[in-house]
Amino acid sequence: MREIIVVSEFCGSSLLLAIPDDVFGIVSKSLSPRDICNLCICCKRLRALVASEKIWLTQCEMIGVVPPRDLIEWRKGVSSYKALCRFLISVKPLLGIWVHQNPELGNVVYIMPGFVSVVGCRIIPQELGPLGIEDGPILWAPVFEVLGEFDGSTAFFLHGREKGYDYIYPGLVKSVDRNCNVLLLEVEPRKLRNGGKLLHSKSFVHLSDNEMSRKLSRSDSKLSRSQRAFGRREVVVPFKRLAFSDRRKLLAVIMGQVRQKVPDSASGPLFPRLREDVEKFMKDLVLMFERRSVLLQMYKRGGDHIDWKADSELPSDPTQLELSEIRKSFECSNNFFNSLNGVETHTPRTKRKTLGSYFINSLKQILGRSIPFNNSNAISKNNSSSSENRHEQLHEFMKSGDTIGLTLHASTVKLSSYRAWPNMHDSQFALYKLPMHVPRTDQEYAGLWGGTFGWPPGGPTEDKPGKALHFLLLSYEESQEQRLLIATKILEGTHYVLHPNGSAMFLVNINEPSSDPFPWDTDADSLPVSVKHAFMGEGIANGYGFRYPGSKPGSLFEIQNGLLAFIWKESRVVLTLQRLNLQDLLKKGEKVPALPPIANFSYLTKSYSNVFAGFSNTSTCLSSLRQTDV
């Protein structure tokens, strides 16, 4: 009987409380953040136990966004490891390669860790430098970044360049789906409390342990932040349901109002260099800590939303507005709606300009609407047309809130694909995530590869001073009892595109060995070439036009040092590839100026030339983007 009593004293919470902190830290590796939060609601003693910094440090390490040694530096920017864990959980699904099909030369954005942040970097189409892929500077431009605040919440900044100046455009991050595959730039209405403060829905970082446990345990909701904040019964018009011209107009108006010039104190590095040079690495950390503090101060001072119902006098320079009001006359809804549709209203004119008139004029200028005034028949026909009925009306969208603001929305949608390339919408400000498969025994070539045309591999030669740099994503697919290796082109460094973005540069049947000999005996170092494996396949060729190219037979060779070489059998043209660590390449790379803000997120205009070279306006970028003929 006594033994039973002793055992019962060390069961349940008492048993956990009797474990030393270090041992419990090891035990916690088998627990998820949700499990730990569930322990918090068991009793006060367990709540104190799981509040240990060691427990949440272990959780941060398990998330795997940054190495454990970097977590120590990141901890200096937040209140606790628990807050850091919340931030890491919210941004981890964003990491990886995101693309858009326009322009054809590539719209590749790689999201990687910064400093208590994640940073979206656009890879600029370019030629290979004289030092080769590994040692040559990769050109990139900032697209956006998500910073972790002191409590672990998120702050979003879009980057852009206008009239020779660098700007940031603050906004909110909507809830990030765990398996998100589409990243959207949107405008969202927001409610105000009675005191005039923004009414935000409760985020992960502001929840109590009990609330956080319930949130983590339930499935992802399909409701937007607005729907969760304003109630399920209220109908909220999604931004994507607006016409493309309305969405483009709202984004343009928002950009003009919320933008803030990047001060010199915030022009430091977005992520640290490699740890190989300890002195430079530590210097980068100091600069990034200061830069992050400046950006968060700018964020807290306001500027991520526009109060479009309030009244304010329009300054002489509308672009210098201090993020306040856009329009007064929502209470005169009929006048406002008619104004949007180009209908003249007979209201008394006032000498005082309001932001309402500026907002309406902005809509007309951006949309370029040409609906005749006082033409009720034309308006009636326009409102009843099938094209208009396919989209929601702008005024219905605006009624959902008191303010409008910029948002980054990471969602999960069902996408079809062709040869590992997703089918994309041409009219959405979106980026699409490419699945990155970790190499394994039966898929050893999966992952990101980079290379150029020509042999031997490496840097430029005397006859060809510049070689176009190609990024290819290799993936596997089962087709008609064949195991195909598909090399999808995601970046091409020519001046004018030779192959469509997302095209399969070659397809190889892994189950069909090739008996073709490798055409060369030595490599760049005059060493004998050793072929490990060879497979039959076909490579891209001119056949059915630009969008639907043909193919010609060839072979893929795996040679020493992990190199791959695809050789077209007839022409003996060779594409040589090596596996890439894009994060390390960017840390050794060179930053160039960004595009204008909306185009910087996703360049929707179809183009077959290098639009990024024209916007970058740097001699380094322009000189490295010479046209080549491979």
Structure confidence at residue 384 (pLDDT): 37
Print the SS3 string covering 21-67: HHHHHHHHHHCCHHHHHHHHCCCHHHHHHHCCHHHHHHHHHHHCCCC
Higher pLDDT, 438 or 263: 263
Q: Which residues contact 302 (CB under 8 A, 6 or more apart)?
A: 323
CB 628 within 8 A of CB 464: yes
Mean pLDDT of 184-201: 68
Q: How far apart are CA 143 and CA 183, in angstroms?
A: 13
Tell me the angle at which helices 81-91 and 53-63 cross, rounded to the nearest 10 degrees: 20
Distances (CA, A) of 617 to 139, 203, 444, 623: 13, 40, 40, 11
User: How long, in residues, is the chain?
Assistant: 630
State how far the Cα of 402 lies from the Cα of 378, in Å rounded to an integer: 31
226 or 23, higher pLDDT: 23
Q: Which amino acid is at 255?
A: M
Strand runs labelled E in 102-226: 109-113, 117-123, 127-128, 139-148, 154-162, 165-173, 182-192, 198-199
Contact status, residue 184 vs residue 430, Cβ threshold 8 Å: yes
Under the banding of pLDDT at 50, 70 and 90, the label for residue 307 is low
pLDDT tens digits along 129-148:
666 777 678 899 999 999 99
> pTM of the prediction?
0.79
The tens digit of pLDDT for each residue in 338-364 reads 333 333 433 333 333 444 454 555 545
447: left (phi over 0), alpha (psi -120 to 50) or beta: left
Share of the chain above pLDDT 70, in %: 68
Ordered by where they begin, the domains of the chain are 2-88 (1.20.1280), 95-206+409-630 (no CATH), 309-401 (no CATH)
**How is residue 273 written in tokens?**
């260099």
406 touches 171 (CB < 8 A): yes
The per-residue pLDDT for range 206-258, each reduced to its tens digit, is: 444 444 444 434 433 444 444 444 444 456 789 999 999 999 999 999 998 89
| Identity of the residue numbered 227 | Q
* Residue indicated by tokens 């390490």: 61
Higher pLDDT, 580 or 395: 580
Measure the CA–CA gap between 126 and 105, rounded to whole angstroms. 10
Asked if pLDDT for residue 334 goes beyond 50, the answer is no
Query: Could you report the per-residue pLDDT of 505-517, keeping only the tens digit for each?
Result: 999 999 999 999 9
Q: What does the pLDDT read at residue 6?
A: 42
